[in-house]
Structure 1
Amino acid sequence: MGKIVVSSNVTLDGVIQDPDGQEGFKHGGWFKQFVGKDLEAWAENETDETLHAEAMLLGRKSDEWFAARTPGRTEPWAERMNSLPKYVVSSTSKKPKWTNATVLKDVVKVVSRLKQEVSGDILIYGSCQLVRTLIEHRLVDEFRLIVFPVVLGAGERLFGETTDKTPLRLVRSQTLGEGLLLVIYEVVRAASR
């Protein structure tokens, strides 16, 4: 059975918006500004995570973002990203921009089926709207958050309003380099509380 894993870089106050500074957000570019000498540890973590994944699930904008930056790169992380099967959720796009990708329309129904068909981790990078939909429908199994040492005070946050609580259990926490914190939480299902 597949496991939906949300993997995200976030600021201490939960902002995920414009980490590379290319969206025009006034606080954008925080990734490069605050990763500093921790970049190598961050990259090792991302590579390990990707090498152990079985598929990716993305929203349309994240598909476009990665498709513009990853093909042709030869480091192990990029090669694995390019080779993984990808499922792109979009109500407007008919053709994904990235390789090995399939467009999905009915997100809740299809992701539920995908979890039955894929054995292993199904990674979600970016894709804020998709993540919020999956949280609302209780389809996320795990959150892997790399917390950056900055409070932006404004911006799009990973977690939005939901109709109910989502109980979590801490699986692991560790520092990456000197200033980043990796926290991994699994979603607690009602039967296992």
Structure 2
Amino acid sequence: MGRLAVVNFISIDGVIQSPLSPDEDRDGGFAHGGWVVPYSDDVVDAFMADATVGAAGLLLGRRSYEILTEAWSDADDSEPAIAAMNRMPKYVVSSSADDLPWQNSHPVTGELASAVTALKDRTDGDLVVFGAGALVRGLAEHDLVDEYRLLLFPVVLGAGKRMFDDRGHLARFALTDSVVSPSGVVILTYARDSST
């Protein structure tokens, strides 16, 4: 059975919106897009490459899928992380998932909890979720996340979309790894606490 791992860039005040570029997501007038760029370093890059190369597949919301498709589907496959993304299955949760141009992309249809549980049952390895705020909140609401890998950036943005809302429920996780990058990014890995 597969595990579901959420990998997210997050600010000190919990914002996950538009981390990579100014035009990624301007919803709500968000003006701080690209906030992770000043903190990129070899440790952060290596962590993200390992998370990608080690995945058995990606589980994405529609918007994240479109952003990643535009950025990586035609990129140079000589980079191991790009080659892995192009090769691995990409499962897209969307009500309009009929047009999925990136190779090896598949729609996830039906009720979220049962569809994702079935996907985990037939996966050997980690299904990784990048970004996808609405999807992450839905997964948390249905208690489907096995691991959070959070890259906490030393910035307060003051506004923007947050990773969580108040629809989730109590779920306990144990800190299994932590690394501080040279630029001050704290990389925290939390796995489902099996003792509870």
Offset of residue 177 of structure 1: 2.7
Alignment match, 1:72: 74
8 Å contact from structure 2 (residues 137, 168) kept in 1: no
Q: Matches of residues 24-103 of structure 1 in structure 2 within 5 Å?
A: 24=26, 25-32=30-37, 34-35=38-39, 38-74=40-76, 75-103=79-107
Decide which moves more: 122-131 or 93-102. 93-102
Kindly state the Cα deviation for residue 119 of structure 1 after the two structures are TM-superposed.
0.9
- Larger CA deviation: 1-10 vs 20-29: 20-29
Where is the helix percentage greater, Structure 1 or Structure 2? 1
For 1:111 and 1:147, the matched residues in 2 are separated by: 27
* TM-fit CA distance, 1:113: 0.6
Match of 1:4, as an amino acid?
L
Pairwise CA RMSD of aligned residues? 1.4
Name which of 182, 185, 189 aligns with 2:190. 185
Whichever residue aligns with residue 16 of structure 1, its letter is I
Q: Which residue of 1 aligns with 2:161?
A: 156
Please report the TM-score for the alignment, with normalisation by the length of structure 1.
0.92
Q: Which residue of 2 aligns with 1:21?
A: 22
**2:162 counterpart SS class:** coil
Q: CA deviation at 1:103?
A: 0.6
* Match of residue 10 from structure 1: 10
The aligned amino acid for 2:62 is: R
**Displacement after TM superposition at 1:125 (Å):** 0.4
CA distance in 1, matches of 2:51, 2:17: 22
Identity value in percent: 37
Gaps of 5+ in 2: none
SS in 2 for 1:30: coil
Q: Distance in 2 between matches of 1:167 and 1:118?
A: 23
SS at match of 2:36: helix
User: Could you tell me the TM-score, scaled by structure 2's length?
Assistant: 0.90
**Larger deviation, residues 120-129 vs 175-184:** 175-184
Instruction: Indicate whether 1:139 and 2:140 are aligned.
Output: no
Shift in Å at residue 95 of structure 1? 2.2
Cα shift at 1:90: 0.5
Displacement after TM superposition at 1:40 (Å): 2.2
SS at structure 1 position matched to 2:9: strand
Q: Distance in 1 between matches of 2:122 and 2:71?
A: 29
Distance in structure 2 (CA, Å) of the matches to 1:56 and 1:121: 8
Change (3 A) 1:110 1:29: same
- In structure 2, relative to structure 1, the CA distance for the partners of 1:97 and 1:14 (3 Å cut) is farther
Which blocks of at least 5 consecutive residues in structure 1 are unaligned?
none
Q: Tell me the number of residue pairs that the alignment of Structure 1 and Structure 2 aligns.
A: 188
Amino acid paired to 2:184? G
Give the aligned residue type for 2:100. P
